[in-house]
Amino acid sequence: MSIAAEIAVEVAETVPLLLDGLVITVAICGLATLFALVASVLILLARRSGRRWLSWAAIGYVSLMRGLPIVILIFLMSFGIPALLDLGRVSAFWIGVLALGMNGAAFLSEVLRGAIARLPAGQTEAAWALGLGRVRTWRLILVPQLLPVALPALAGEVGFLIKASPVLSLITVVDLTRRSQQVTMQTFDPLVPLLAAALLYFLLIGAIALFARWLEQRLAKRIAGR
Amino acid sequence: MIELLTDYGDDILAGLLGTLLIVGIGFLLGTLGGALLAVPLVSTSRFLRWPARSYVELIRNTPFLIQAMLLFALFGVLRLRLDPMAIGTLSVAIYTAAYMAEILRGALHSVPAGQSDAAHALGLGRLLHFRLILLPQLLPFALPAGVNLLATVAKESAFLSAVSVAELTFAGQVVIAQTFRVFEVWAIVGALYLLLVLSVLAAARQLERRMRWTGSA
């Protein structure tokens, strides 16, 4: 049997050992996406509030998230800030959710802001002329048009966060990456557990990317069909 | 804070230099690789397109840290001794090439195919066709996207600290191990990354604006 086939068999045998880690990775990224969704709406509200200090705070926050590597953000949140405030030990799992969610929220808010900016201003004026209030204008007119952009973006966000999620392994969360390192420590094989982890990441991120694209096309078709 | 900077400022700056070197050289190599990859990527032959497409999808759908760890493990298994800085640079190049190839593919697709026939009919050679017809139309799209990619790569490079490459984040860990000044060190290191990444992003925005005004002429 060739070396490649041998390695393929070993990788297939290692995959089941990594599933615990995969579950943790998916759980944290899923929770972080929920957090990001809520937080991105809050960021947008702050930005559109008309109060200068609030919109400046939102812009500053988004810039901070765009400029800071996720590695540094998570080190600051799990080691730096607890040391500064003398918090003692913090839960690495929830710090992971928070850090990935904070990062995702900034990017999601930018996507939503771009989508809102593309909506024709005349629609809001027309809705107001028809006597629709602010809330009903958003609910009935604007949000349904934002969904075809927002839903694929949200799906893409999960994939984006999973790609960033090996950062969790750096703060001792036993995610997919760290789980593969643990297997390496038991088997002394540096390559196969990593290959198995890479395969799982690839399948997961690839599937999410395909789903996001499918959703985008489907929603675009529905809008066009109307 | 002050004595931290006077005592360990040099170590942190050396780390910053490491990051600049790894990202700078890795990004340049990756851009070159991306340009070479873009050619089979837009090819009409399936046999040329398929390997390039597989490479791009493999890299774009796996985390950078996993790619870097795999590369380090591979060098270990093959008993090839290479400086960690060099392996780190190589992993940045491998990552950049996939994303850059995709940017260039998108840009190439935006140029109508008829233009290449027209250029041929006008008697322009391959090189002139590229320089006079293709390049001016690729740049307004590819240049800002490429600079944005540079910012992403600079951020991703922080992951290399996990495989003991002597870059900025690793320098921060070394200084913390000596001083236990956890918050201050990560704040300083974070500020340096912010400065680096945000100025690259500002340059991308500037390029985008300028390219838009001059159009594709």
pLDDT digits (tens, 9 = 90+) for B32-87: 999 999 989 988 888 999 999 999 999 999 999 999 999 999 999 999 989 999 99
Q: Rounded CA gap, B156 and B159, in Å?
A: 6
Q: What 8-state DSSP symbol labels residue A190?
A: S
Domains and CATH numbers, chain B: 2-214 (1.10.3720.10)
* DSSP string for B59-100: HHTS-HHHHHHHHHHHHHHTT----HHHHHHHHHHHHHHHHH
As given in the structure block, the two tokens for residue B172 are 């921060």
Q: What is the nearest CA distance from A155 to chain B, expressed in angstroms?
A: 14
Contact between chains at B183 and A84 (C-beta distance less than 8 A): yes
Asked if B63 and A83 come within 8 Å (Cβ–Cβ), the reply is: no
- Residues B183 and B185: their CA atoms lie apart, in Å, by 6
**Mean pLDDT calculated for residue range B185-208:** 93
CB atoms within 10 A of CB B134: 16
Q: What is the pLDDT of residue A62?
A: 95
Q: In whole angstroms, what is the distance from residue B100 CA to residue B95 CA?
A: 9
Amino acid at A112: L
Nearest to A201 among B62, B155, B156 (CB): B62
Question: Contact at 8 Å (CB) between B167 and B20?
Answer: no
Q: What is the CA radius of gyration of chain B?
A: 21
For position B217, what pLDDT does the model report? 42
φ/ψ bin of A189: left (φ > 0), alpha (ψ from -120 to 50), beta (otherwise): beta
Within 8 A of B155 by CB-CB distance, chain A residues are: 68-70
Contacts of A163 in chain B (CB under 8 A): 61-64
Domains in chain A, please, with CATH? 3-225 (1.10.3720.10)
Give yes or no for residue B125 having a pLDDT over 60: yes
Chain A residues with CB inside 8 Å of B193's CB? 67-69, 72
Question: What pLDDT does A226 receive?
Answer: 53
User: With contacts defined as CB-CB under 8 Å, which chain B residues touch A80?
Assistant: 182-183, 185-187
Cβ proximity of A183 and A127 under 8 Å: no
Chain centre distance of CA B112: 28
Average pLDDT, chain B: 90
- Of the residues B66, B77, B78, B185, the best mutation for testing chain A's interface (the one with the most A CB atoms within 10 Å of its CB) is B66
Q: Judge whether A67 and B197 are in contact, CB under 8 Å.
A: yes
Instruction: Calculate ∠ Cα B115-B118-B120, nearest 5°.
Output: 110
Tell me if B66 and A162 make a contact (CB, 8 A cut-off). no
Is B155's CB within 8 Å of A68's CB? yes
| Tens of pLDDT, residue by residue, chain A (226 residues) | 688 899 999 999 999 999 999 999 999 999 999 999 999 999 999 998 889 999 999 999 999 999 999 999 999 999 999 888 988 788 999 999 999 999 999 999 998 888 888 887 787 788 888 888 778 888 787 788 888 888 888 888 889 999 999 999 999 999 999 999 999 999 988 899 999 999 999 999 999 999 988 988 888 777 665 5
Between A146 and B148, where is the model more confident?
B148
